[in-house]
C-alpha cells in the first residue's frame, strides 16, 4: 500500500485520537441542540446534522433536539391567505395563526427531522411541549414606552408563550435504558388555561437545557457566532459582560435575544451555551470535539 493511500486513513485515525479526550468529557451527559436557520432548509446540511446527532448518541451522550420553523410557518400563512399582524416587530399569534404554527412545527418539520435521524441510524421520536406535559407556559409579555406620555404599555401578542415550567420526566424516560431514543421537540407549549402557545425555539431550548442541567446548549444560527467590533469571532464570553456589549452596540438585532437565552441557561445550571454557525458542515462535532470549538461559548 502506497503512502498516498495511507495518508487519508492516518488523518482519520489522528483526528479520532485527538477527539478522544473531548469525547470522554461528554460521555453520559446531556447536550441540547437548537436546530434552525439555513441548516434546516439545506438538504445536505440537514443530512449531515442528522448523522452528527446519531454519532453523539453512539458516543454515549444524550442529545436532545429542539427546532424552529419561522420561514415555513410564514410561507404556509401566505399560501392560506392568513394575514399576519405585527406589533413592535413581533408577530401576533391569533387562533388561526396558532393552528398553522402547531400544524407546521409538530407536523412536517418535526417529522422530517425524525425521519432524517432515523435514516442516519438513530432512533428519534417527535414531541411537542404538550406531550407528557413537557412544557407549561405563560403568555409572553412585552412592553413598549409611549414616546409622548413615557408610559409603559403592554403589547398583546396573543398566543405567544414563554416557558414557566419544564417537566423533564418524559425526556429522562426516553433516554433511559437501552432504547437510545433521541427526542426531537417542537416548541409548542400549553398554558394554565389549557390553550396551546407558540414559544420561540431558542427560548424553549434554553429552558429545556436548564431543566435537564445539560452540559451544553448549542444554538445553531446563520452567523459564525458573536462578533466583536473588529468583526472577528469572540470565542469565549462571560455572561456578565453581555449587557455592556449590547449597550455599546457591539451586539445588535437578533443576536441580543440569543445571548439573553444563553446567559439565562448558564445562570440556571447549564455548563455552557454556544452560539455557532449551522451553515458549517459538522459544526456540532467541531464545537464539541476540537480544542478551539466552532462558535462563541457563554460561560
Give residue 149's pLDDT. Answer: 60
Residue 124 lies in a domain: yes
Residue 67 lies in a domain: yes
Residue 209 lies in a domain: yes
Give residue 148's pLDDT. Answer: 61
Residue 143 lies in a domain: yes
What is the total count of domains within the chain? Answer: 1
> Which regions in the chain score pLDDT beneath 50?
1
- State the CATH number of the domain containing residue 139: 3.40.1160.10
Residue 255 lies in a domain: no
pLDDT digits (tens, 9 = 90+) for 182-224: 999 999 999 999 999 999 999 999 999 999 999 999 999 888 8
Residue 189 lies in a domain: yes
Dihedral angle at the C-alpha atoms of 48, 51, 52, 54, nearest 10 degrees? 160
- Residue 126's H or E segment, with its range, is strand 123-128
Residue 193 lies in a domain: yes
Strand partners, 186: 128
Residue 103 lies in a domain: yes
Give residue 3's pLDDT. Answer: 57
Cell representation of residue 156: 398583546
Domain range for residue 184?
27-217
Give residue 13's pLDDT. Answer: 77
Amino acid at each position: 500500500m502506497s503512502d498516498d493511500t495511507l495518508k487519508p486513513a492516518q488523518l482519520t485515525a489522528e483526528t479520532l485520537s485527538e477527539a478522544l479526550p473531548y469525547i470522554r468529557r461528554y460521555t453520559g451527559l446531556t447536550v441540547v441542540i437548537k436546530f434552525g436557520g439555513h441548516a434546516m432548509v439545506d438538504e445536505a446540511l440537514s443530512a449531515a446534522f442528522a448523522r452528527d446527532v446519531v454519532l453523539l448518541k453512539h458516543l454515549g451522550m444524550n442529545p436532545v433536539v429542539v427546532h424552529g420553523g419561522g420561514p415555513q410557518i410564514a410561507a404556509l400563512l401566505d399560501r392560506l391567505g392568513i394575514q399576519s399582524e405585527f406589533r413592535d416587530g413581533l408577530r401576533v399569534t391569533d387562533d388561526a395563526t396558532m393552528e398553522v404554527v402547531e400544524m407546521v412545527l409538530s407536523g412536517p418539520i418535526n417529522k422530517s427531522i425524525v425521519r432524517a435521524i432515523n435514516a442516519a441510524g438513530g432512533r428519534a421520536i417527535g414531541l411537542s411541549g404538550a406531550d407528557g406535559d413537557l412544557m407549561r407556559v405563560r403568555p409572553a409579555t412585552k412592553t413598549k414606552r409611549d414616546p409622548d406620555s413615557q408610559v409603559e404599555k403592554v403589547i398583546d401578542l396573543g398566543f405567544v408563550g414563554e416557558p414557566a415550567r419544564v417537566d423533564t420526566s418524559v425526556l429522562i424516560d426516553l433516554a433511559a435504558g437501552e432504547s437510545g431514543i433521541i427526542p426531537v421537540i417542537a416548541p409548542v407549549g400549553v398554558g394554565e388555561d389549557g390553550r396551546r402557545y407558540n414559544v420561540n425555539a431558542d427560548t424553549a431550548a434554553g429552558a429545556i437545557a436548564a431543566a435537564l442541567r445539560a452540559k451544553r446548549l448549542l444554538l445553531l444560527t446563520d452567523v459564525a457566532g458573536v462578533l466583536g467590533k473588529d468583526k472577528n469571532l469572540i470565542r469565549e464570553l462571560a455572561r456578565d459582560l453581555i449587557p455592556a456589549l449590547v449597550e455599546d452596540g457591539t451586539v445588535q438585532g437578533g443576536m441580543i435575544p440569543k445571548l439573553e437565552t444563553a446567559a439565562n441557561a448558564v445562570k440556571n445550571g447549564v455548563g455552557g451555551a454556544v452560539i455557532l454557525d449551522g451553515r458549517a458542515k459538522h459544526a456540532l462535532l467541531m464545537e464539541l470535539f476540537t480544542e478551539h470549538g466552532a462558535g462563541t461559548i457563554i460561560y
